[in-house]
Homo-oligomer: A and B are copies of this chain.
Amino acid sequence: MVTIREIAREANVAISTVSNVLNKPADQVKASAATRKRILEIARKHQYVPSMLGKGLREGRSYTIGMLGQIGFYDSYTAKSLYGASEVLRCAGYSLELTPSVHSAFLREEVRRRAEGPASGAVSTASYHLVSDMPQYLPELREAIQRLLQRGVDGVLLTEEIDEHNREIFAALSRQVPMVKLFSVSGIPELPSVYVDPVAIGELGAELLYQLGHRRIVLLGSRPKVEDTLRAFLARYGVVFAADRVLAGYRDFEGGRAALRRILETMPDTTAVFCYNDTNAAGVLYEAQRIGLRIPEDLSVLGVNNLDISEQLYPRLTTIMVPHSGQGAAAAELLLARIAGEKVADRILAPALIERESCGVPRAQERLLPRKI
C-alpha cells in the first residue's frame, strides 16, 4: 500500500500538493497541469488507495455507521433491511459495521443448537423477549456500545427492541451520536424512527377480510394499533369485534399451531385468522394441513411481512407486505440527514396487500370441521 508521502517523494513535490491534486476537482487546480498529471500517473501506477484511517483521524470522523442489535437472530427480513441500509450508506461513502448487542452464553447456546444440533425452528418470541431480562444483558449491551464508540462511528442504526431495561442506555447513546431506530417507534425524544404504519396494516387486513365476507375473525398476537383499527373498521359495518377474538401471544410458528387448536376448541365459528406475521401464519397453515382443514375453503389465513416463506407454502400465503430493504434504506437516509445536522421526523412506510391463495370467501358452514384425527 503506497502512501501520499511516497508519491510525493517520487514526484518531487510536497505531500500537501499530492493531497490537493488527489482530492480537489480538476478545475480548482492548485497545481500546474504538469505536476497534476505527473502525480496522478504515479498514483495510478502504484494503485494508490487513500487510507480512511488517516483521513478519518484527521477529520475527526470514521465514515463508518454501526448497526446495533441482536444480530444473532438475523432472519432474511433483517438481512434485507441491512442490505438496503448498506447500499444507501455506501453511496454516501460510509461503510456499515455489525455490532451484535447480545452474545451471552444463552445466545451462543441457542446458536449452537440451531447450527449443529438437530435444530428446532425459529427462535420463539418468548425466548427473544427473555434476552433483555437476562442478567448478562445490560453489561453486554454496554460492551457493545463501548465497541461502537471505540470505532468512532459517525452514526448508529438501532435494530434492538427498546424496553424499560435498556431505554435509558439508548437515550444516553442517542445524545452522544446520531442515531435512528429501525422497525418500530423509539419512544425516546430526539431519536427518530423508521417503521411501517400499523394502522394501514390493520386497514388493509380489515378491508380484505370484510370484503371477502368474513365476520368472525381472530387476531393473533397483540398489536394494539392493528387491533383498534380492525375493530373500528368492522364497527363501521355494524360488526362487533370482541376482545376475546384477540389471541395475544401466539407469535411464532408453534404459536400459530397452538392458536389454531385453540380456535377449534373455543371459537369454531371463526372464518378467518389475521396473523401476527408470516411465521405464525405458517404455523396455522401447518396445523390446518395436519388436521385436515382446507385453506382457504374452511378457513382464511392472512399473514404480515411477505417473507420468502410466504411464497413457498401450500397454499401460497396471502399477506401484507412490509418494505424490507426499503426500511433499511429509509433509516440510512434519515441517519445521514441527522449526521448532516438536520432535524428529522419519523419516517412511516406504507404496507401493501399481496393477494395469493390463503384467503377466500367463507363457506356458509357453521363451524370448522377437521377431516383427520
Residues of A within 8 A of B (CB): 1, 49-54, 56-57, 62, 64, 71-72, 74-76, 78-80, 82-84, 86-87, 90, 95-100, 103, 108, 111-112, 114-116, 118-122, 146-147, 149-152, 253, 279, 282-283, 285-286, 289-290, 306, 308-309, 311-314, 321, 323-326, 352, 354
CB distance from A361 to the nearest CB of B (A): 20
* With A79-B78, A95-B99, A308-B75 as contacts: A53 and B62 at CB distance below 8 Å: yes
* With A97-B95, A283-B312, A311-B120 as contacts: A150 and B115 at CB distance below 8 Å: no
* Residues of chain B lying within 8 A (CB to CB) of residue A151: 52-53, 95
CB-based contact B115/A326 at 8 Å: yes
Q: Tell me the bound Cα distance from A121 to B314 in angstroms.
A: 13
Q: With A75-B308, A98-B98, A119-B354 given, name 16 new contacts (CB 8 A).
A: A1-B152, A51-B57, A64-B97, A71-B82, A71-B86, A74-B80, A82-B98, A90-B147, A96-B97, A111-B325, A112-B325, A114-B324, A121-B312, A286-B314, A289-B314, A312-B313
Q: Tell me the bound Cα distance from A150 to B96 in angstroms.
A: 14
* Residues of chain B lying within 8 A (CB to CB) of residue A286: 312-314
CB-based contact B312/A118 at 8 Å: no
* With A118-B352, A146-B49, A311-B253 as contacts: A72 and B83 at CB distance below 8 Å: yes
CB-based contact B79/A150 at 8 Å: no
CB distance from A329 to the nearest CB of B (A): 8
Q: Tell me the bound Cα distance from A96 to B82 in angstroms.
A: 14
* Residues of chain B lying within 8 A (CB to CB) of residue A64: 97
- Nearest 5 A/B pairs, CB to CB: A74-B79, A121-B311, A289-B314, A79-B79, A282-B312
Kindly identify which residue among B79, B80, B312, B313 contacts A115, using a CB–CB cutoff of 8 Å. Answer: B80
- Give the interface centre of A84, A98, A100, A253 by most chain B CB atoms within 10 Å: A98
* With A84-B111, A289-B314 as contacts: A119 and B51 at CB distance below 8 Å: no
Q: Tell me the bound Cα distance from A321 to B79 in angstroms.
A: 21
Interface residues of A, dominant DSSP: helix
Q: Tell me the bound Cα distance from A101 to B57 in angstroms.
A: 26
* Residues of chain B lying within 8 A (CB to CB) of residue A96: 97-98
CB distance from A321 to the nearest CB of B (A): 7
* With A49-B149, A80-B114, A149-B49 as contacts: A122 and B321 at CB distance below 8 Å: no
* With A116-B326, A146-B49, A282-B312 as contacts: A90 and B83 at CB distance below 8 Å: no
* Residues of chain B lying within 8 A (CB to CB) of residue A72: 83, 87
* With A115-B80, A152-B53 as contacts: A121 and B86 at CB distance below 8 Å: no
CB distance from A4 to the nearest CB of B (A): 13
* Residues of chain B lying within 8 A (CB to CB) of residue A324: 114-115
Q: Tell me the bound Cα distance from A1 to B177 in angstroms.
A: 11
* Residues of chain B lying within 8 A (CB to CB) of residue A75: 76, 79, 308
* Residues of chain B lying within 8 A (CB to CB) of residue A325: 111-112, 114-115
* Residues of chain B lying within 8 A (CB to CB) of residue A326: 112, 115-116
Q: Tell me the bound Cα distance from A71 to B290 in angstroms.
A: 37
Kindly identify which residue among B79, B112, B121, B289 contacts A308, using a CB–CB cutoff of 8 Å. Answer: B121
* Residues of chain B lying within 8 A (CB to CB) of residue A57: 51, 53-54, 57
* Residues of chain B lying within 8 A (CB to CB) of residue A49: 146, 149-150
Closest to A349 in B: B116
* With A74-B82, A279-B312 as contacts: A97 and B100 at CB distance below 8 Å: no
CB distance from A260 to the nearest CB of B (A): 12
Q: Tell me the bound Cα distance from A54 to B83 in angstroms.
A: 29
